[in-house]
Amino acid sequence: MGLFDKLFGKKEEINPNHVYAPMTGEAMDISQVPDPTFSSGAMGNGIAIQPTDGKVCSPVNGTVDMMFDTGHAVTLVSDNGIEILIHVGLETVGLNGAPFQVKVQNGQKVKKGDILMIADLDAIKAAGLPTITPVLICNTDDYTTFNTTTGKAVTNADVVIELGK
């Protein structure tokens, strides 16, 4: 690390074809989500995270396409066109936003690691709902290769989806 890196901080290199984990937790195959809307791949291929922390961070550099009014889900478009849906928990739209603190707005530019929302996982569990969080690539068909990393603990520093054209 050079002097300027020490003084000003080294800029993190982000591969534009990588999607990082938006939450800390256990990365799982999307087929393990107990909701066919997600597990069938109808909305796109992806992974799921069984979160251990409610902080939801941007998995890419890009733009907030739509932050749902209830705060339970967000769509992003990466700087190179990856369309991502992060849906915190299952059936959480019915909680009317109560367990979610939204930190971004539609059209906002974000960098990997920026906080998008904070979910109160205990409140979601208390409502009897699962906290498993699907992370989908909605334009999966635009890519010729689609590789995922699952079956291990992940943080926002870990790549969970690699795409290629």
Rounded to whole angstroms, the Cα distance separating 63 from 86 reads: 13
Rounded to whole angstroms, the Cα distance separating 33 from 18 reads: 22
* Given 21, 30, 46, 87, the catalytic residue: 87
* 87 catalytic residue (yes or no): yes
Q: For residues 70 and 100, is the Cβ–Cβ distance under 8 A?
A: yes
Active site (catalytic) residues: 87
